[in-house]
Structure 1
Amino acid sequence: MSRSLAALVAALLLSSAASGRTVRGLFKTEAARHEHGQLVAQFMFQGGNGLVVCRLDQPGPAAEKGSRLLLYQDLDSDLDNLSCSQRLSKAQLTVSLSQEEQNQTIPGQVSPSVWQVRYADRHTCQESSVAPPPSDLSFTLLLLNPDSAGNPLDHFSAEEAGLHGFYFLLLLAYFIACCIYVQPLLQALRKGGPMHTVLRVLTTAQALQCFSALCNYIHLSRFSRDGAGSPLMGGLAELWDMVSQVSMLYLLLSLCLGWTLSRGRKPQSRPLQWERSPASTAVAVGGVITQGALLLWEQYSGSEGGHHSYHGQQNLAGLLLVGLRVVLALLLASVLYQIISTERSTLKRDFYFTFAKGCFLWFLCHPVLVLTSGVFNDHQREKVVTIGVILCQSISMVVLYQLFLSRSLYWEVSSLSSVSLPLTMSRTNHRGRY
């Protein structure tokens, strides 16, 4: 398991590229010839006052080659079926690169829209020749939206606007909750008990989500200043989120399947412990491996340039991940139905019902939000899914914490079986009272 985690860390960190809106690179004549216009960047501008700034290190060679930037707004048109010259002529805006810095204002629009930036020169539509291609041009491209004062200084595209503030509020909520609940949680973990593993895994998953939010906030804070952010922090944010997801999946599957598969052989005086069996462990590990593989696939094939592409279902891996969560939710529903239908104690049934609510909220929030996001505009969909998934899964964790740490239902259920849960107020030398 440790080797797999190490490989996961290395893959994410090494593959993390700057997904910024300050783009640095090379204008390549060969790439422009091969692609009928070298793709440089893609950006969603807001209503108006958008700005494209291109800075060249060598404006002289650029002027000699007739270098220019082509900006396309209508990305739905079938450009691939057009000839090279027709494709270049379809550009809504053309920016000649003959000076050290060129600025281009984006015309006003009714709603946010995606613009694509491509590079071309006089060699783009020529047939390949044996002559050596002209030298590449080093460039820096800034894509800016208007800020709150209407000045084009905001590096965030329209679909990313507001995420920085959301992560700040999320971290503030985590800090307040930590100040209030960290002491009773530590006391519960010190006491141990049959459900100690549950609390430990749940706390680990919650801490990883907090670390993910912190890394995202740091990344977006830097991005707001320079348009590039911190690729390391962005990669770590995705890593902690993925590890948190697989930890929670292992916890929920192990609990439900363990309770069911061991129900016929375990003592009825200990009904709610973490039960392990070869079958339940195999299913839980299989589910974790499957989800981890899909998460990695989604990361590698996700849309370029997004800080939060983890929650965007824009590829086959994302759709398979949604389907997996629906299947797991149905599996847990079947398992919990078997448990609840044969349970005679009202208190224990209430315990399982509350646990089922937390499970279903964790698994189904993602598919439901993906479906409902279709009613929103294009620039709002990914934010709705990202923010909604984080909030719903945080609420799910709160429900599970209340279930396992409360001194009401949790204590009453455990008191029926003497020592089945940690916060029973029944220490070893007091068990005779129950």
Structure 2
Amino acid sequence: MSRLLAAFLAPLLFCLGISGKTVTGIFRSEAARRENGQFITAFVFRGDGGLLVCQLDDPALAAQKQSKLLLYQDLDLELDSLSCAEKLRKAQITVSLSQEEHNQSIPHQAPPTSWTLLYTDRHTCQENPEDPADPDLTFTVLLLNPDSAGNPLDHFSAEEAGIHTFFSLLLLSYFISCCIYLGPLQQALRKRGPMHTALKLLTAALAIQGCSALCRYIHLCRYSTDGSGFALMDHLADFWDMLSQGAVLFLLLSLCVGWTLTRARKAQSRPLQWEWSPASTAFSVGGVVAQACFLWFLCHPVLVFMSGIFNRHQRQKVVTVGVVLCRCISMVILYQLFLSRSLYWEVSSLSSVSLPFTMSRTNSRGR
């Protein structure tokens, strides 16, 4: 138990001492001239106290190039049709870069609004720049939202706020459920029976789904530190998620294509076997689309469609949280189905041996 607790607390300890969402890169005059402003990043600020911090390694060069940061509120495609000079004048906030560090507060945002950050200098609107050989600038930009106390220390944009906490609560729920139900589940697996293979496959899918949630949580911890996250963990989370979906799909298809819940005589060591016929094939395809499959595989497009009624900054959270909750609910439903069927098979097996006047005993007495 102590090792399991240590493994669970490891990602929590890993997240201590986070600094902030940081974007590090190079201001390039050529890119700014080619694109009428070099795109840096976008961030959804909310409430009062939003802050942008820009740090430069060579403020003298920035002053010489007349470097500026332009902030656009809800940047849309209409700006592409404007000339370079008109596009620069459309900026809601302009920050002249001439110091080693600049702190720019963001006005009140109600509702939360996306701001796009562009870089420009004296070469941006020139067709033939006077000095194209100017060196580039290395920068570091911190984008911060106000926390619950009103201080600009929250490192997630408004569209990402709360997802980190959700995954931490999800892992805590996995841990508590594992401590409570691991023993009864092991007893059910030891008794074998017709649901033995289904329970093993469902447990494997649940464990893989837990690995995906853990990898996603570690990625979010790293993301809160540097703004880019742990790319390896993010890819691993997607990989485990695909494996979990594949396992559940195989289980549901096996149940719909002839591997019924009443086959107690099938060898338990053999994998799920399918029995094909035109009628069973057509029935299985319709069954998979219409059953627990709706929660597991079709929840994502349905939630994307439903998220349109929410504000723009809430849609990503609605889809992310909704998909995870739907899949957890489908796991609970499948476990209730298989465990109840396994208990029914166990009671039926005991009654056929121990209770009087059963069919087997009646047939033996008649013979």
TM-score range, shorter chain: 0.7 to 0.9
Question: Could you report, residue by residue, the CA deviation over 1:118-146 in whole angstroms, capped at 9, with x for unpaired residues?
Answer: 11111111125696532111111101000
Match of 2:88 in 1: 88
Match of 1:146 in 2: 146
Matching residue's letter, 1:275: Q
Distance in 2 (alpha carbons) for counterparts of 1:132 and 1:75? 28
Matching residue's letter, 1:69: L
Match of 2:273 in 1: 275
Question: Could you report, residue by residue, the CA deviation over 1:5-32 in whole angstroms, capped at 9, with x for unpaired residues?
Answer: xxxxxxxxxxxxxxx8310111111111
**Correspondence 1:372 to 2:312:** no
SS at match of 2:251: helix
**Correspondence 1:167 to 2:167:** yes
8 A contact 1:258–1:274 mirrored in 2:
no
Match of 1:334 in 2: 286
Q: CA deviation at 1:357?
A: 5.0
The structure-2 alpha-carbon separation of the partners of 1:112 and 1:267, relative to structure 1 and needing over 3 Å to count, comes to closer
Q: Which runs of 5+ in 2 are unaligned?
A: 1-19, 354-359, 363-367
Q: CA deviation at 1:277?
A: 5.5
Distance in 2 (alpha carbons) for counterparts of 1:331 and 1:81? 54
Sequence identity of aligned pairs in percent?
A: 59
Q: CA deviation at 1:215?
A: 2.1
8 A contact 1:52–1:141 mirrored in 2:
yes
Q: CA deviation at 1:192?
A: 4.3
Match of 2:59 in 1: 59
Question: Could you report, residue by residue, the CA deviation over 1:292-331 in whole angstroms, capped at 9, with x for unpaired residues?
Answer: xxxxxxxxxxxxxxxxxxxxxxxxxxxxxxxxxxxxxx98
Q: Which runs of 5+ in 1 are unaligned?
A: 1-19, 284-329, 338-355, 419-423
Q: CA deviation at 1:60?
A: 1.4
Structure 2 residue aligned with 1:388, among 303, 312, 322? Answer: 322
The structure-2 alpha-carbon separation of the partners of 1:88 and 1:106, relative to structure 1 and needing over 3 Å to count, comes to same
**Correspondence 1:411 to 2:343:** yes
Matching residue's letter, 1:45: F
Question: Could you report, residue by residue, the CA deviation over 1:338-384 in whole angstroms, capped at 9, with x for unpaired residues?
Answer: xxxxxxxxxxxxxxxxxx75333223332332222222111111111
Match of 2:9 in 1: none
SS at match of 1:78: helix
Distance in 2 (alpha carbons) for counterparts of 1:168 and 1:433? 56
Q: CA deviation at 1:158?
A: 0.3
Q: CA deviation at 1:413?
A: 5.8
8 A contact 1:361–1:392 mirrored in 2:
yes
SS at match of 2:111: coil
Distance in 2 (alpha carbons) for counterparts of 1:426 and 1:138? 79
**Correspondence 1:232 to 2:213:** no
The structure-2 alpha-carbon separation of the partners of 1:359 and 1:414, relative to structure 1 and needing over 3 Å to count, comes to farther
8 A contact 1:22–1:140 mirrored in 2:
yes
8 A contact 2:254–2:273 mirrored in 1:
yes
Q: CA deviation at 1:111?
A: 0.8
Rg (Cα) greater in structure: 2
The structure-2 alpha-carbon separation of the partners of 1:111 and 1:130, relative to structure 1 and needing over 3 Å to count, comes to closer
SS at match of 2:298: helix
Distance in 2 (alpha carbons) for counterparts of 1:357 and 1:239? 25
Match of 2:186 in 1: 186
Match of 1:101 in 2: 101
Matching residue's letter, 1:31: A
8 A contact 2:256–2:283 mirrored in 1:
no
Matching residue's letter, 1:62: A
Query: Number of matched residues?
Result: 333
Match of 2:333 in 1: 399
Matching residue's letter, 1:105: S
Distance in 2 (alpha carbons) for counterparts of 1:130 and 1:375? 51
SS at match of 2:150: coil
Matching residue's letter, 2:201: V
Alignment of 1:211-230 (within 5 A): 211-230=211-230
SS at match of 1:70: strand
The structure-2 alpha-carbon separation of the partners of 1:190 and 1:94, relative to structure 1 and needing over 3 Å to count, comes to same
Distance in 1 (alpha carbons) for counterparts of 2:113 and 2:120? 23
Q: CA deviation at 1:163?
A: 1.3
Question: Could you report, residue by residue, the CA deviation over 1:191-245 in whole angstroms, capped at 9, with x for unpaired residues?
Answer: 4455433222211221122112222222323433454443333332222222222
8 A contact 2:194–2:264 mirrored in 1:
no
SS at match of 1:112: strand
**Correspondence 1:38 to 2:38:** yes
Greater RCO (CA < 8 Å, at least 6 residues apart): 2
Match of 1:302 in 2: none
Distance in 2 (alpha carbons) for counterparts of 1:74 and 1:268? 62
Distance in 1 (alpha carbons) for counterparts of 2:73 and 2:199? 51
Q: CA deviation at 1:41?
A: 0.3
Task: Choose 156-165 or 242-251, whichever is displaced more.
Answer: 242-251
Matching residue's letter, 1:404: F
8 A contact 1:215–1:234 mirrored in 2:
yes
SS at match of 1:149: coil
Distance in 1 (alpha carbons) for counterparts of 2:294 and 2:83? 52
Distance in 2 (alpha carbons) for counterparts of 1:335 and 1:127? 63
SS at match of 2:47: coil
Q: CA deviation at 1:154?
A: 0.8
Match of 2:357 in 1: none
8 A contact 1:257–1:335 mirrored in 2:
no
